[in-house]
Amino acid sequence: MSDAFEVSYVTLHGHRRAYVKAGNGPVLLLLHGLGCDHTTWSPVIERLARKYTVIAPDLLGHGESDKPRADYSVGGYANGMRDLLTVLGIDRVTVVGHSLGGGVAMQFAYQFPDRTQRLILVSPGGLGPEVTPAIRMITTPGFHQAMGLVTLPVLRQATTESLRLLSRSRIPHTRDLDEMAAVVETFRDPRTRAAIRHVVRAVVDWRGQIVTMADRAYLTEAIPTFLIWGTDDGVIPASHAATAVALAPGLRLELIPDCGHFPHKDHPERFVRIVNQFMRSTQPAVYHRGRFRAMLKAGPRPIAVQAEAGHSPVSPIESLSPA
């Protein structure tokens, strides 16, 4: 479990950043989702550290990192990850991004293709507008004050216990509510509430996700990319996976049944097998400025052209054999 690893700190641009570093070997940069922190990777970080150097930061505004009034855009987060890696003396990484972290991972690969070896996207944001109403509510007026009341001791306990009970009920679209309960616990800190509100407003409005990577997904042709999604995801629908496969030539996909928004928590052993097999079966991307320039000039191919070239707009599910 990641709790066995010491949390380290580095100050970048005047703000303290927390991270865990463990293991040896090729570097995996693990980016958590909205309202989470590095401990979301607790079920898998120790196993991954047996083969890889694992860097698991708390994004700015989350966990033990500072929560200033700052740039909480996906581009800003990607810049922060570049700077963290630079300070740690790490040049190139495989980026593993979950939910919001998936959007940051895609942005990192777009901004810094020379530093990106592979992409592993886990239930990522940025591939369609749909998102749970619970996240859209964070953008509404009065959220900060209302959550301040909800997180008063008695109400907080009642709310979190109710969410965890529902998550065990097997009622459709409720399995991820235990994770929402953990997020509610963090909202006791008004600095966290303010930071999360800034994050959400940068990527979501009342109609859903406003930041999309769809127009740049074709650039993953130059970077080995794997997409992991739970079929029972109640936060971001797994149907977005078909969009990703249609837009990103060569992307590999595994849909995991009986799995919600957190595949690394619902099925940690399977998650580690997927990562291990993907790392073994692919070579790290090598950045070529000329190739990148040519891809940018050509732009994305129409989906019909991709289908003619053998890239189906309707995704076949690639099942991985146990490693």
Catalytic residues: 99, 233, 261
Alpha-carbon distance of 53 to 21, in angstroms, equals: 7
- Cβ-in-10-Å burial (0-12, 13-18, 19+) of 136 comes to middle
In the block, residue with structure tokens 């600095």: 191
Q: Which helix (H) or strand (E) element contains residue 15?
A: strand 15-22
Angle between helices 153-167 and 177-186 (to 10 degrees): 160
Q: List the 252-256 sheet strands across, edge first.
A: 7-12, 15-22, 53-57, 27-31, 93-98, 116-122, 225-230, 252-256
- DSSP conformation class of 151: T
Q: How many CB atoms lie within 10 A of CB 21?
A: 17
State the DSSP string of 105-134. Answer: HHHHHHH-GGGEEEEEEES-SSS-S---HH
Q: What type of residue is 184?
A: V
Give the residues across from 205 on adjacent strands: 208
The CA distances from residue 66 to 19, 30, 186, 291, in Å, are 12, 18, 14, 39
| CA geometry: angle 165, 41, 170, nearest 5 deg | 25
Q: Say if residues 132 and 235 touch (Cβ distance below 8 Å).
A: yes
